[in-house]
């Protein structure tokens, strides 16, 4: 077991006064490119990161979180707290059989690195192991996505849960979110002398859920206007049949899908210059057409490009959270210093930085107490 898994087991024993039967953990993710395309049936290119959420699980009906430092009932109705994510999983998969969980994580909450999907994935995998349901990772990802859509109420796509459950170390995943066809692509930035620098702007994504649902609704309306089930099948000529905000939203989705496929090809060719260019184009589209960026995200992206990054963009839903930059490793420290200084000058919150490589997906460990 890794540090988070050991901590979850220890927390279960100390806080819930019992012995867990299983522990599972799942990673957060960075989406390299392909934002707001998954719920439109398009393509995405995520990778898992090393930061993880661990869930120790046994019989009972309570939930403890080390990040929130509280114990709550896991059974019962939705209450708008962090427990809704595991509660929805348990109620959907486990029926009336109660369980208790202890959750430990080193993923920042609300930063756009999919802490919620990691919690869902780890809970689902632990429950699958504890009860012996025999569900594979794809079915578990579909379950987690339904819970987030229908129970929690955030109408996202399947990307976050899918990559958390199925990631492979050293690879990014080109995922067709409509067919769930996948292509694993080697993603070794270190070998190329590069670092994937994550900047958590420390802007909480407090409006992300409502704005996210609004963007999805606008895309569905745009698709209906051109007589399509989703914008996945739209092309640039279809944009001429749209107007105003609907054209803007659809233009982002159409061009972003094309960028994802081009970026996957560039990554396979180890053409990191082209890959970085596409990252930066993606950010401009998210900023201007999809309108999900913030001054802090834009400032980081601008400074990263001026500081020598091959490309930079916000990652996740936007409205705060994180941005990423593909940066020569020798320039990382100078870039972080520059960003901290400029954020302070503008009165922004102090940013937090992580350097990441493509990491492994979720895992479950049964054990004897």
User: What distance in Å separates the CA atoms of residue 233 and residue 179, rounded to the nearest whole number?
Assistant: 13
- CA nearest 53: which of 25, 81, 82? 25
Known catalytic residue at 160: yes
Contact 322, 198 (CB under 8 A): yes
- Segment 175-182 long-range contacts (CB within 8 Å, at least 24 positions apart): 175/38, 175/43, 175/44, 175/45, 175/46, 176/42, 176/43, 177/37, 177/38, 177/39, 177/41, 177/42, 177/43, 177/44, 178/41, 178/42, 178/230, 178/232, 180/138
Contact 260, 43 (CB under 8 A): yes
Which of 38, 59, 150, 160 is an active site residue? Answer: 160
> Which of 333-347 are b and which e, b meaning 16 or more Cβ less than 10 Å from the residue's Cβ?
eebbebbeeebeeee
Contact 97, 133 (CB under 8 A): no
Handedness of CA 157, 158, 164, 170 (dihedral sign): negative
Look at the block and give the residue holding tokens 């796509």.
Answer: 157
Active site residue ranges: 160
């Amino acid at each position: 077991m890794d540090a988070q898994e050991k901590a979850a087991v220890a927390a279960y024993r100390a806080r819930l006064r019992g012995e867990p039967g299983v522990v599972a953990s799942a990673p957060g993710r960075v989406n390299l490119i392909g934002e707001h395309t998954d719920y439109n049936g398009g393509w995405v290119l995520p990778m898992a990161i090393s930061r993880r959420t661990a869930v120790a699980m046994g019989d009972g009906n309570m939930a403890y979180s080390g990040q929130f430092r509280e114990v709550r009932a896991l059974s019962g109705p939705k209450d708008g707290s962090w427990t809704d994510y595991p509660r929805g999983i348990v109620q959907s998969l486990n029926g009336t059989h109660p369980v208790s969980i202890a959750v430990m994580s080193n993923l920042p909450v609300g930063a756009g690195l999919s802490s919620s999907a990691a919690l869902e994935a780890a809970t689902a995998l632990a429950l699958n192991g504890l009860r012996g349901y025999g569900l594979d990772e794809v079915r578990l990802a579909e379950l987690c996505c339904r819970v987030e859509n229908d129970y929690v109420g955030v109408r996202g796509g399947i990307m976050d849960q899918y990559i958390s459950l199925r990631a492979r170390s050293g690879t990014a995943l080109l995922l067709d979110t409509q067919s769930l066809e996948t292509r694993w692509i080697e993603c070794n930035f270190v070998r190329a002398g590069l670092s994937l620098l994550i900047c958590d702007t420390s802007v909480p994504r407090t409006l992300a859920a409502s704005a996210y649902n609004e963007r999805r609704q606008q895309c569905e309306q745009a698709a209906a206007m051109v007589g399509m089930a989703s914008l996945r099948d739209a092309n640039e000529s279809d944009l001429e049949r749209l107007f105003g905000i609907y054209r803007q939203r659809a233009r982002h989705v159409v061009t972003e899908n094309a960028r994802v496929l081009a970026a996957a090809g560039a990554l396979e060719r180890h053409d990191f210059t082209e890959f970085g260019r596409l990252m930066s184009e993606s950010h401009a589209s998210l900023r201007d057409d999809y309108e999900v960026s913030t001054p802090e995200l834009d400032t980081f992206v601008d400074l990263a490009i001026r500081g020598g990054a091959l490309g930079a963009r916000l990652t996740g839903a936007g409205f705060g959270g994180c941005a990423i930059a593909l940066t020569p490793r020798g320039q990382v420290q100078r870039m972080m210093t520059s960003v901290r200084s400029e954020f302070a000058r503008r009165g922004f919150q102090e940013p937090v930085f992580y350097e990441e490589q493509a990491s492994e997906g979720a895992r479950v460990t049964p054990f004897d107490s």
